[in-house]
Amino acid sequence: DCFVRKGKRGGAWCSRLRGYSCAGEREVLPLVTISCNFSRAAEGRPKLLSTSEVKTLFHEFGHALAGFLSRGPYPQVTGSFPRDMVELPSQLNEHWAWEPEVMKHYARDYKTGRPISDALIAKFKESENFLKGLYLTDFYATALLDLEWHTVLRPVEGCDVAAFERAFLKRYDFPEHTALRFRTTYYNHIFASSYPAQYYSYTWSAVLDTDAFAAFTGTGDIFDPETARRYRRHILTEAGYDEPMAQYVRFRGAVPDVKPLMRRYGLAE
């Protein structure tokens, strides 16, 4: 359900209509959906996706893979990713979206069918970290604001939300130009969803996903079958079987290293 329509809520998400189950000899496989809000094309024009929409589609399909491939005899455990690991499959899947080998498969001229040129891929790669420092400042301010609200010890009546945010930014010495990614009044992730005090988890998942992708690139093949089998078994299929870090180490062979994330952000060689 990819495109915007009247009455549809905003954002993008992956839903599981039916999880995996097995009773006796009867095996029931998962049913998973992806919903997005991509822009509709003008009448008579092709429905093309922006780079942001491509990233969203790969992201949500990463969640879908976890839903498709979860297996196990206990429904409360099967496919049960802890909150600070739930974005690993989705964010890891984004990496393939920007690999030249993959881009040449889907990024084609809609008139001629020619794949994207190497020169355009190079420009795209060069722009990846443009204003990255500004983005990270805004993101981490938002993640810390989440924790700030959830450490308030007493109910706040008549609270001046804007003043609360200003005092928070000043206390942490954020730059004056910091623009919170989500302001308190529409911070759905922490007040109306399953992310209370856990918005930081996107960053921890980024540590995991960059380290996990390094497992593929380290082989010289981003589609390395053996690495993919370990990832499928220990992460996508067996998530929830054991402690999250134990599952990750079974896949990776070691605890995650932060260096791949620093390189991705352009903060390390």
pLDDT tens string, the chain, 269 residues long: the values are: 999 999 998 889 999 898 888 877 888 899 999 999 999 998 889 999 999 999 999 999 999 999 999 998 887 777 778 888 889 999 999 999 999 999 999 999 999 999 999 999 999 888 888 888 888 999 999 999 999 998 888 877 778 888 889 999 999 999 988 988 888 888 877 777 777 888 888 889 999 999 999 999 999 999 999 999 999 999 999 988 889 999 999 999 999 999 999 998 888 77
**Cβ 61 vs Cβ 93: under 8 Å:** yes
Catalytic position from the list 25, 43, 60, 148: 60
What is the longest distance spanned by two Cα atoms in the chain?
Answer: 63
Distance separating the N- and C-terminal Cα atoms of the chain: 40
Report the b/e string of 136-162 with b at 16+ CB within 10 A: ebbbbbbbbbbebbeeeeeeeeeeeee
Cα–Cα nearest to 210, from 259, 138, 252: 259
pTM for this model (two decimals)? 0.87
- The question of whether 60 is a catalytic residue gets the answer yes
